[in-house]
Amino acid sequence: MGDLVPRAPLARRRPAHRGESGGWSMTTKFYIEGAWVDPAAPRTLGVLDPATEETFATISLGTAEDVDRAVVAARTAFAAYSHVSVEQRLEYLERIISGFRARLPEIARTMTREMGAPITFSTERQATVALFHFEEAARVLADYHFEEEMGAGVVRREPIGVCGLITPWNWPLNQVASKVAPALATGCTVVLKPSEIAPLSAMVLAEIIHDAGLPPGVFNLVNGDGPTVGEAIAAHPDVDMVSLTGSTGAGIRVSKLAADTVKRVALELGGKSANIILPDADLESAVVAGVHSCYTNGGQNCQSPTRMLVHRSQRDEAYAAARRAVEEVRLGDPFDPSTTMGPVVSQAQLEKITALVQSGIDEGATLVVGGPGRPDGLDKGFYVRPTVFGDVTPQMRIAREEIFGPVLSILLYETEDEAVEIANDTPFGLAGFVQSKDPDRARRVANRIRAGRVYLNGAPFDRSLPFGGYKQSGNGREFGRFGFEEYLEVKAVLGYPR
């Protein structure tokens, strides 16, 4: 299949960090103290295009020494940046927003190349929602009251300090922006470690931030893997807060490392969200929408409704609707605008998904559509067959483990109470979904779901509302005012004349 959008080296690359070979071939520098610098030790990693399985870029893998250099820069910059006026911080944010908008098509192409999202999805969702976080941070900052009188004193909210931000590959810039934007808006300084699997869009953002003229050391970027760079950030005594989006295992490890210095930890971790379709819902539309929502971003989405709960009397009708929904999926070249699902991000991810699909078969679930094996006509790339299982029981692996791929499990229930019990029978609690023609009934069920967000009847994703999980889906909240306040400390001042 030929590319409808060329895979040539992306435009406007800055020579400051691209190396002698040009393009994406040598993006081997880190952004520290306002400049692109060489790593402390030469160690590199190739960045793969998951649609072609070809290495198209090279990054450096940092060390604890690189992290320390970045933290020192951030600590030094914090002394002044924490006192920069709201007006000046707003100006910085507006410059970032302007630069982001100008380079949005490049950012979208970069994410399609590094993690396989279809170009339409990268443009309309991946890139634009990342931009939104900067716009939202500016909106919150413009109206935020950092001081208020309370009791016999004054309560101040002050920037927490140096923030270590560790982000994943599935939404490679959205998750970066959801952390960087409020950190910069509140007056914090940043050391960012993007995913080493999909690091390039974050490097474009670093260029945008550089062009916005922020003081050196306010924003720093060190590429690397979790066990080296991520753990060095979490354990560093001069990092005041660490925010991680990743697996539950990574969150546990970061929390343990951060405990020695009692730093604040914010975690957005895994999910196994339930989608309760009540018997009075429009079953056809609810099932079709639920399948497509599960497959958002190739199923590589932490809040995807991967467990669909259907009344037992509607079993066969639901399975038929699910088959029809899967028929609408268009697998293929992610640079083809007609493609609706690209590859998953890596061979390791493909193997994990395939093993879990096989476990569903082995444990006796009904394979409604899909299954293991490469999709027809795609002999290259990390492609997975969109899959739906029926007759899934809550004890099966596919009902309990986060698959992070286009795999939906349909579970059957008899009563509303049983549906809620099944929905809550999970160590996760990131999101929930309820479908009913009766909004009050949907709301009552939503109130019983133990999750940080619940969507009623296909409600759209709102990034001004708090996002985060219960239980092993994490702690703290992102987005909007709640995400903004994660980066603030609270100080009470008593005895000031009023």
Nearest to 215 by CA among 111, 316, 97, 88: 88
Count of C-beta atoms within a 10 Å radius of residue 5: 16
Largest distance between two CA atoms of the chain: 76
Residue 6 sits at the vertex; the CA angle it makes with 23 and 48, to the nearest 5 degrees, is 60
CA 303 and chain centroid, separation: 10
Q: Which is the catalytic residue, given 268, 478, 485, 486?
A: 268
Strands 189-193 and 219-221: parallel
Nearest to 120 by CA among 372, 336, 359: 336
Backbone region of residue 299 per phi and psi (left: phi > 0; alpha: psi in -120 to 50; beta: other values): left
Q: Show the DSSP H helices in 270-378 as ranges.
A: 283-294, 315-327, 347-362
Nearest to 293 by CA among 470, 455, 439: 455
Residue in this structure with the two tokens 């609270």, named with its chain if needed: 490
Check if 421 is active-site.
no
Residue 72 sits at the vertex; the CA angle it makes with 479 and 212, to the nearest 5 degrees, is 50
Using the 8-state DSSP alphabet, how is residue 272 labeled? -
Encode 134-172 in three state secondary structure: HHHHHHHHHHCCCEEEECCEEEEEEECCEEEEECCCCCC
**Contacts of 415 by beta carbon, 8 Å cutoff, 6+ apart:** none
Q: What is the C-alpha to C-alpha distance for residues 143 and 108, in angstroms, rounded to an integer?
A: 31
- Show which residues are catalytic: 268
